[in-house]
Structure 1
Amino acid sequence: MDLKQLEHFVAVAEERHFTRASRRLNLVQSGLSASIRSLEEDLGGPLFIRSTRRVDLTPAGEVLFDEARRVLAAARDARHAVTQVHGLARGRLSIGAIHSLAPFVDLPASLALFRAAFSGIDIQLTLDGSRALLDQVREGRLDLAFTQPPDALSDDLALRMFACEGMVVACATRHRLAGASELTLSDLGEETFADLRPDWSVRRLVDRSFAAAGLQRSIAFEVNDIPMLLELVAEGLAIAMVPESVAAERVRDTRGTPIATATFREREEPCWELAAVFKGSASEPVAPIARAFLDLLGLPDAAV
């Protein structure tokens, strides 16, 4: 049993889904499955109960989950301590992020932790679209960008995945799709959509999904703000496709008009991915300050 296997185990345990976990880890699914099987053999029994749509932890898996997170946190703390000894006393951390990062990473809180650990490091934050952020990383104006991974990664850039989750259909509570499951994209062909502007990566994912399926859709409302998008949905004016955690956050928000959700068949489910992109290799960013911040977040090295 090694740290890499524990990282793989925790990813599957958190995602409850091998496909999403493999995307999050940037690891082929067969490699992830082999790693989990090897861990189970080493520990003498199954860690997951596998079904067609999700996986759940066995009692042994529940015990290991808590211990694995504790061990990985201790390893991060150790790397962090060594980084401090090596001396990141002064410098600048330039970070970029897309606007829809909030449910996946609490960037303000993470930056506050980094500031507490490295008080001599100046922090600069830029919010922009995915394409602009990637260009700034390539040009050296950003050390790190939190964004949707590009379709093709250039040789001078690397990434670490930190989120991979399914998209759901958000709709009004009285809508015919409310609570539906096993949807396909073709089931949405007659619906009116609200969506974000074309420069948003969430919008590009939905556009690509419909194009790949050879389908068209009607977009009546185009906005530049997720809360407004969900307000239009809540009032029954349109439906929208959003990451599951974005919809869940709205469902929990008692201040706004409630929304409902509908889910896709597993094979039809578009996957919303987010990654930290930087110059260098997956295990060794060019900028030591960027490596220190990634270690603080606990993002695993990418695997092939």
Structure 2
Amino acid sequence: MELRQLQHFVAVAEDQHFTRAAERLMVSQSGLSASVRALERELQTPLFVRTTRRVTLTEAGRALLREAERILAGVRAAHEAVAAVQGVLRGTLSLGTEQCIAGVDVAGLLAAFRHRHPDVEIRLRQTGSAALAEEVAAGRLDLAFAYRTGPDTDQLRTVALAGEPTTVLCHPSHRFAAAGAAVTPDDIAGEVFVDFQQDWGPRRATDAAFARAGVRRTVALEVNDVHSLLDLVDQNLGVAVVPRHFRQKRPSLTALPLKGVEEVTYETVALLPPAQAASPAARALMGLLTGSAGGS
């Protein structure tokens, strides 16, 4: 089994298409197909189900993909570590983030990083915290800024960045705004809720808090964007339970405390692989963020 074969296999798995993967890798399609077939012969099992339109992973292919991604991430980290020892930071910084994270100015941080390390290519992916945790653990991302969604594992560690309480946002004409008082889960259980998709950190924290309170709520308007959420609340289409700093993005909305549940704190964290597996670029970025020389 060669690294080149693993690179070819991962590219086909990502693109779900041999022609597109070959174009991205700048190799011939016949050469790419031969490389994958050789890998399948060595492993004595098909890795893809091939159709005329796309290819999908078999169960064996899905198992290999997880390991192949970790191997390739380790090889990349080894190359970058050698370059860092030589005094030049090169390679790629693959960063993930959830939208509107408290405690870190992602754009400003990346600008400072690029100024110090212009030879590093920056790749940014924005998605929900649960997906980010999976991608860091799998080696597809060097690090991510997210809301805490679970405990540390052998493949994933967290560095706490900030914490903040929850708030309920509603339109100024809403009956809650007129009362001007804190609300409980029972008070708002029958309301129309605007919330994020289920892999977002705030959604998971709110769902857990209401479940602990024994109150069922229905999310009727589900979005994947902070500003869309605020727009829907601003049109009086529902209420939202969100991190407190969201109120600063739309001062026209009324913000009310949520009481009667265990304190809901949205904790912002940096998601990182184990210390020995962290890339030099990730360590450098964390160093800029924390003000330390070596990072975390």
TM-score, shorter chain, exceeding 0.5: yes
Output the amino acid matched with 2:285: F
Residues 1:280 and 2:279 aligned together:
no
Partner of 1:270: 264
Partner of 1:290: 282
Aligned in 2, Cα 1:195/1:267: closer, same or farther, shift over 3 Å?
Answer: closer
1:98-113 counterparts in 2 under 5 A?
98-101=98-101, 104-113=103-112
In structure 1, what is the Cα distance between the partners aligned to 2:180 and 2:87? 54
SS of the residue aligned with 2:281? helix
Aligned in 2, Cα 1:175/1:183: closer, same or farther, shift over 3 Å?
Answer: same
SS of the residue aligned with 2:176? coil
In the alignment, structure 2 segments of 5+ residues that lack a partner are 1-83
Output the amino acid matched with 2:287: D
Aligned in 2, Cα 1:217/1:302: closer, same or farther, shift over 3 Å?
Answer: farther
In structure 2, what is the Cα distance between the partners aligned to 1:266 and 1:289? 44
SS of the residue aligned with 2:222? strand
In structure 2, what is the Cα distance between the partners aligned to 1:272 and 1:105? 14
In structure 2, what is the Cα distance between the partners aligned to 1:219 and 1:228? 15
Is contact 1:181–1:264 with CA below 8 Å preserved after alignment?
Answer: no
Partner of 2:115: 116
Residues 1:232 and 2:219 aligned together:
no
Residue 185 of structure 1 and its aligned partner are, at CA, apart by 2.1
How many residues are matched? 211
Tell which has more relative contact order, 1 or 2 (C-alpha 8 A, sep 6+): 1
Output the amino acid matched with 2:130: R
Residue 100 of structure 1 and its aligned partner are, at CA, apart by 3.8
1:1-304 counterparts in 2 under 5 A?
87-101=87-101, 104-178=103-177, 180-251=180-251, 258-265=252-259, 268-281=262-275, 286-298=278-290
Aligned in 2, Cα 1:299/1:273: closer, same or farther, shift over 3 Å?
Answer: farther
Aligned in 2, Cα 1:263/1:125: closer, same or farther, shift over 3 Å?
Answer: same
SS of the residue aligned with 2:250? helix
Residue 164 of structure 1 and its aligned partner are, at CA, apart by 1.0
Residue 160 of structure 1 and its aligned partner are, at CA, apart by 0.8
Q: State percent identity of aligned pairs.
A: 36
Is contact 2:92–2:121 with CA below 8 Å preserved after alignment?
Answer: yes
Aligned in 2, Cα 1:145/1:207: closer, same or farther, shift over 3 Å?
Answer: same
Residue 104 of structure 1 and its aligned partner are, at CA, apart by 4.1
In structure 1, what is the Cα distance between the partners aligned to 2:200 and 2:249? 19
| Higher Rg of the two aligned structures | 2
Is contact 1:180–1:263 with CA below 8 Å preserved after alignment?
Answer: no
Is contact 1:145–1:278 with CA below 8 Å preserved after alignment?
Answer: yes
Output the amino acid matched with 1:212: R
Deviations 1:43-74 (CA, angstroms, capped at 9, x unpaired): xxxxxxxxxxxxxxxxxxxxxxxxxxxxxxxx
Output the amino acid matched with 1:174: S
In structure 2, what is the Cα distance between the partners aligned to 1:195 and 1:106? 23
Residue 167 of structure 1 and its aligned partner are, at CA, apart by 1.1
In structure 1, what is the Cα distance between the partners aligned to 2:208 and 2:272? 25
Deviations 1:268-296 (CA, angstroms, capped at 9, x unpaired): 43111221111124xx7622221110110
SS of the residue aligned with 2:94? strand
In structure 2, what is the Cα distance between the partners aligned to 1:160 and 1:201? 16
In the alignment, structure 1 segments of 5+ residues that lack a partner are 1-83, 252-257
TM-score (norm 1): 0.62
SS of the residue aligned with 1:105? coil
In structure 2, what is the Cα distance between the partners aligned to 1:290 and 1:275? 14
TM-score (norm 2): 0.64
Residue 259 of structure 1 and its aligned partner are, at CA, apart by 0.9
Is contact 2:149–2:201 with CA below 8 Å preserved after alignment?
Answer: no
In structure 1, what is the Cα distance between the partners aligned to 2:86 and 2:175? 59
Partner of 2:11: none
Residue 169 of structure 1 and its aligned partner are, at CA, apart by 0.3
In structure 2, what is the Cα distance between the partners aligned to 1:130 and 1:290? 18
SS of the residue aligned with 2:141? coil
Bigger Cα displacement from structure 2, 141-150 vs 130-139: 130-139
Residue 116 of structure 1 and its aligned partner are, at CA, apart by 0.3
In structure 2, what is the Cα distance between the partners aligned to 1:128 and 1:111? 17
Deviations 1:207-235 (CA, angstroms, capped at 9, x unpaired): 11111111112333222222222122122
Residue 266 of structure 1 and its aligned partner are, at CA, apart by 8.8
Once superposed, which parts of structure 1, at least 4 consecutive aligned residues long, lie more than 6 Å away? 299-303
